[in-house]
Structure 1
Amino acid sequence: MAGGKASARQKMINLMYLVFIAMMAMNMSKEVLSAFGLMDAKFAESNVVATEKNGALLADLETKAEEKKEEFAVPFNKATLVNTASDKFYKYIGTLKEDLLREGGYSIDPDTGKLPFEAMDKTDILDEMWFTGDRMTKKGQEVIATIEAYKKEIKDILGGDVKYMKAIERFDRRFSTAEVETKEGIKKSWLDYNFQGFPAIASYTKLTAMQNDVKMTEANMFNLFLGNSLDEAVSLKKYQAIVLADKSAFFAGEKFQGKVVLGKYANVTPTKLTVNGKEVNISEAIDSTGAAKLDFTVGNVGEQEIKGTFTFLEDGKPLDIPIVGNYVVVPRPNSATISADKMNVVYRGVTNPMTISFAGVPDNKVSASGSGLSKGSGTGKYNMVPTTGKEVTISVSATLDDGSKASDKKTFRIKDIPKPAGKLAGMSNGKLPKANVAAGTIMAELEDFDFDLPLTVTGFKVKVPGQPSITVSGNKMSGQAKAAINKARRGDDVTIFEIKSRSSGPAIKPASPIVIELAN
């Protein structure tokens, strides 16, 4: 095509063909690289799902081991060891993937959340890390040794029990590192055959697939332990001891009441199901074991009944089996119980609102008593107005569903209303003109006090430097007080003290003094 006697025009045409063929090859390569990337994403997604399912299987084995220790304790122990070994090997493969990305300079695109699949075409990353000539490097030998160590660990866990032989054979084939013979009859090591000379994305995907093999191994083993631990013979071993409680909730210290029956779950589809007077859709309610799922809004707080009918077809006739059960409804928690042990305080002479309840007991079966305590409006609402003494104890009693009584109590400290702060023009200390001081209104305020308790000033004293103290009635300056203020000089401090006030309830202590510097 590029012969020496070709014309210049023909040579140009030939060169264009070569460029065209090269471009086609380049595009095909990108498509292949992208395909590997998509495969890797699928394997990664499968690994996430498998991890969740394997966790559920292991939890199922743990539950069975607790309920039937004799049958499931050993299988659960084996499953735990398999999980530990597999998790360690899975993470090791993850480090190999991280090495490949780091050495190749690849990273996840923050916009797409994906690796640059089409750019991961380097073939020398693992070639240099794992191979030297026709031999493996120390890292390559480590990879093979780690795979073999994982295989040995799993086999040791399973042991020599004949019932595990088929599983071991499948496991051996899945993680075989034996030599591979090519189509040309050339024998290559497993690592060379699978990784040497491949694009980075292909090797990365193979490592993700190997992680998937680990997850599949876990799943197969867990299912094996679950299945092989059950005796399939037709005997009483097929039955279960089923505990039927008289109600679904009990209080601490209360006697458990119920019964134990020997039975098994019948995977028989009923023809009709009615619960609490309403017919339930059979196709949606019955699961694969023949059990009916109940889904309804519970009743009010207290013990409630479940009544209904299971209808089956037997000998061509409907057979009704009554459903009788009960459950206990407790109040839904809507707030946390938080208390400062040294801050259990009520204030003397004012109405202290309180909420009193007993966990799991309706309000109409709860009673509370204490000096100055009365029932308020609303569920669990009370009012406390303490009078004399330094402490008050509130006792609470409740009547439980079985008629028994429960009680509790709590003691609160009684404190007097705090001392108010004297205020003039909104300040206790400050600088004002004479006219503002003379015309101002004296106030007494309860600062940082959570109760709405307005105070009215009934009298006070005024002291101007160089003049005797003046006693004033009410909350305004008297003529005598104004005259004294007008005689004062600029910079003098006018002190207003012994500020007396009254409230609609308890007696109030004198307010703290007010000190005002005259501005003129």
Structure 2
Amino acid sequence: MALPKDPRQKMINIMYLVLTAMLALNVSAEILNAFNIVNNSINTSNNSLTDKNNLIYAQFAEQMKDNAAKVAPLKAKAEEVKKLSADMYNYVETLKNLIITESGGKDDKGELKGQSDLDAPTRVMENMKKGPELEGKLVALRNQLLGFVEPKNKDKFAKTLPLKIEVGKSSNDHGGGPKTWTTYHFNMVPTIAAVTILGKFQNDIKNSESAIIDDLYRQIDAQNFKFDKIRPFISLNSKNLMAGQTLTAQIAVGAYSSTVNPTIVVNGTPVNAVEGLGTYSIPVSGIGERTISGTITLPNPTGGDPISQHFEETYNVGASTTSISADKMNVLYIGLQNPISISAAGVPAESVSASISGGNISKRGAGEYTVTVSQPGKAVINVVANVDGKVKTLGQKEFRVKRVPDPVLKVGFNKGGNMKAADFKVQQGLGAVLEDFEFEGVKYEVVGYRIGVSAKGKEYQEGEANSAYFPGSIAASVRSLRPGDEVYFENVKVKGPDGIVRTMPSTIFKLN
């Protein structure tokens, strides 16, 4: 039979769940700082994209002087793209401001007061339904932007357009199927993370706007271009990298001729240009801010001296930040499915893998693993990642390996000592209960024991049990127990989740 739980045990379980939840909500300062760095980088990139896009819009105006009839329809489409993108960008900005306000606003230095606040993003994006509204608007904008692409190129643009709305990539932890787009991005994330994610969507909007207007501009006959001045643009695959990763920079001019490629030199190295675009790649090393610089040179269409322009771009190289945490304290228990969370800043979860000494580890989701161990002592979890096609060690952590603690022997709610005779008589067997343990639902099975009944005025009765139930040989003695009698349990055998049978200390019940 299932032996009932002590009410005190239920309260302990509830208190532990609350503590676990509080620990899960504790976001480290390193993670918050990493989001700040990425957010600042995104804001810088957005400003650069705005300058670049404005130059393209200005080029449309310049082309109107030479061929207004041909350029006007393309310019009108570009202006419409500009308005759609600006409206969407500003809408996302209002969401960022709303989340910041909900989390406490900014301090005198302009920094977020509630960077680690997990409630504000959830409240705004889920409870206030701003997340589904944003998702719908982004889907609509993507479709509108693709509508400006020539039909023959639409499939290509649909694959490469930066603005993509991915739904259902993560499974619901509670078995409810795929998460919604809103829950996947904004449920219980820190305010600084939500602001960074929204900034990333703004960056996608700017990049998509840039891709569409560049395509519209290329539709103008390149032979009609007149270069009187140029401005270089450089795009990095990331402005925040780890040592060992590869920096890739794309360098281009705002307008170019399909028959005349620029001469590009980066850090003293010539770069081959195709259709006006040059790509420069180097492995990064060291820690801190780094710079690439160079020149872009084009022939003067009027026959004068070549036109050259200097450029310079900075990026940051940081060390890897890897987080390995045990969801049930810093201990691995033999015979249990120990849940482990692993994350590495700047590395996608699908690129991260882990191994363990003295056990087995299996992946059960993004950043989530299950560990099984068999021998007490210590185990070390090692984390690696595939970074730019190379396996890179990110970190390791040592855990203690312990057996599940011994249970407490109980008859009913009592665990030895004094017990009312009336309460003992209605019980059917001996139970083994695990108290004050981090894992819920871990049970022990009583596989055998020797029971002795010492009743006043009667002979000592003894019986052997091969399960939790009282043996039939002493059933009558148990039913006739009275105050002053004593019941002994000896050689008690229990089997835990590790499958090992343990012998428990003897216990006595004095009836009153």
**TM-score bracket, shorter-length normalisation:** 0.3 to 0.5
Higher strand content, 1 or 2? 2
Higher relative contact order (CA 8 A, sep 6+): 2
TM-score by length of 2: 0.38
**Structure index of larger Rg:** 1
